[in-house]
Structure 1
Amino acid sequence: MRSLNVAQAKARLSALLDAVESGEDVQITRRGVPVARLTRAAEQPGVGFDLDAFLATTTEQPFHNGSDASALLQELREGARY
């Protein structure tokens, strides 16, 4: 594991990120005392979006009766007390 002080790490951040990306761990020290370690981030699994399920769910909503937004707003205003 490579060890650098804060000033060196700041000066070489892009190169350090390239090294970490390729699998190397980097330790950052302040006055010789380790304060941080750069390691490769864990892979995040991709979350898919199911459009068909979303559309099916939204059409089942209680206010979705085929009317448009202006008609719904008019219905809400007519029922409101001012």
Structure 2
Amino acid sequence: MQASVHEAKTNLSKLMEAAERGERVVITRHGVPAVELVPAKKSKVTLGNLKDKVGEIPDAFFDPMTEEELLDWEGRD
């Protein structure tokens, strides 16, 4: 399927649906192919993978850093 820039602006939702179905969608500029609309790749990132796998956080974790720890954290000597 081909569409001019004007047609693409007018029918973007329909063109996106066609591309998501696997149809080749080319947007032309002055009759010359300019871009091809393709579906986005699905993210492989899954949030919450470590839920129930990390132990309890000790209370000391929330204590303020010592001056030495702060300098280490900031990469200063």
TM-score above 0.5, yes or no:
yes
Equivalent position of 2:23 in the other structure: 24
What letter is aligned with 2:52? D
1:40 Cα offset (Å): 1.9
Q: Whole-Å Cα distance in 1 between the matches of residues 30 and 16 of structure 2? A: 22
Gaps of 5+ in 1: 77-82
Q: Whole-Å Cα distance in 2 between the matches of residues 41 and 35 of structure 1? A: 18
- The count of corresponding residues between Structure 1 and Structure 2 is 66
Structure 1 runs, 4 residues or longer, greater than 3 Å off: none
Q: Whole-Å Cα distance in 1 between the matches of residues 11 and 19 of structure 2? A: 12
Identify, as 1 or 2, the structure richer in helix: 1
1:17 Cα offset (Å): 1.0
CA contact (8 A) 1:20 1:40 kept: yes
TM-score normalised by the chain length of structure 1: 0.60
Computing the radius of gyration over CA atoms, which structure comes out larger, 1 or 2? 1
TM-score normalised by the chain length of structure 2: 0.63
Gaps of 5+ in 2: 67-77
Alignment of 1:1-82 (within 5 A): 2-48=1-47, 49-53=49-53, 55-56=54-55, 59=57, 64=58, 66-67=59-60, 69=62, 72-73=63-64
Instruction: Compute the RMSD of aligned alpha carbons.
Output: 2.7
